[in-house]
Chains A and B, each alone.
Chain A
Amino acid sequence: MNLFHQIPLEIRWVVYVVAMIVFVSLFALFAIWLERKVAAWAQDRMGPMETGGFHGWSQTIADMIKLLLKEDIIPDAADRGLFKLAPYIVFTSSFAAFAVLPFAANLIGSDLNIGIYYIVAVSSLVVISIIMAGWASNNKWSLYGGMRAASQMISYEIPVALSLLVPILLVGSLSMQDLVKVQAGGFWNWTIFGNALGRGSILQLPFTIVAFIIYFWASLAEVNRVPFDLPEGESEIIGFHVEYSAMRFGMFFFAEFANMFLVSGVAVALFLGGWHAPFPFLEVSAETSLIWCNVIGTFWFIGKALILVFIQMWLRWTLPRLRVDQLMHVCWKVFLPFSFANVLIVSLLVVIS
Chain B
Amino acid sequence: MELILFIITALVALVSAFMVITRRTPIASVLYLVLTFFCLAVLYVMLGAQFIAAMQIVVYAGAIMVLFLFVLMLLSQRGAQTWEVAGPMRKWLGFAAAGGVLLVAATALQSVGVSDTVLDPEIGTVSSVGSALFRRFLLPFEVASVLLLGAIIGVVAMVKRKPYPSETEEGVEHGS
* Total interface residues in chain B, CB < 8 Å: 25
Q: Which positions 150-208 of chain A face chain B at CB distance < 8 Å?
A: 150, 154, 157, 174
Across-interface contacts of B73 in A (CB, < 8 A): 131, 135, 143, 147
In Å, the complex CA distance between A112 and B65 comes to 26
Chain-A contact segment, one of B54-62, B99-107, B147-155 = B54-62
Closest to B57 in A: A121
**A55 near B: Cβ within 8 Å?**
no
Residues of B within 8 A of A245 (CB): none
Residue of A nearest to B50 (CB): A114
Which of A112, A135, A150, A328 is B27 in contact with, Cβ under 8 Å?
Answer: A135
Taking a contact as CB atoms under 8 Å apart, the answer to whether B63 and A124 are in contact is: yes
Number of chain A interface residues as a range? 20 to 34
- Residue pair A124, B50 in contact (C-beta under 8 Å): no
Main secondary structure of the interface of A (DSSP, over half): helix
Q: A117 and B51: CB pair below 8 A? A: yes
Say which residue of B31, B54, B176 sits within 8 Å of A114 (CB atoms): B54
Name the residue among A117, A121, A127, A157 with the largest chain B CB count within 10 angstroms: A121
Residues of A within 8 A of B55 (CB): 121
Q: Which residues of chain A (101-129) have a CB below 8 Å from chain B?
A: 112-114, 117-118, 120-122, 124-125, 127-128
> Is A329's CB within 8 Å of the partner chain B?
yes
Given contacts A329-B176, A333-B176, contact A124 B58 (CB under 8 A): yes
Interface presence of B6 (CB below 8 A): no
Is A125 touching B57 in the complex (CB atoms < 8 A)?
Answer: yes
Kindly state the separation between the CA atoms of A124 and B174 in the bound complex, as whole angstroms.
Answer: 31
Q: How far is the CA of A127 from the CA of B73 in the complex (A)?
A: 14
Whether A154 and B63, one on each chain, are in contact in the complex, defined by CB atoms closer than 8 angstroms, is: yes
Residue of A nearest to B73 (CB): A135
Inter-chain contacts of B63 with A (CB < 8 A): 124, 154
The interface residues of chain B lying within 8 Å CB-to-CB of A325 are: 174-176
Return B78 CB to nearest CB of chain A, in Å.
6
> Once bound together, how far apart are the Cα atoms of A256 and B106, in whole Å?
47
Is B141 among interface residues, defined by CB-CB distance under 8 A?
Answer: no
What is B's interface to A at a CB cutoff of 8 Å?
1, 27, 31, 34, 50-51, 54-55, 57-58, 61-63, 65-66, 69-70, 73-74, 78, 125-126, 174-176
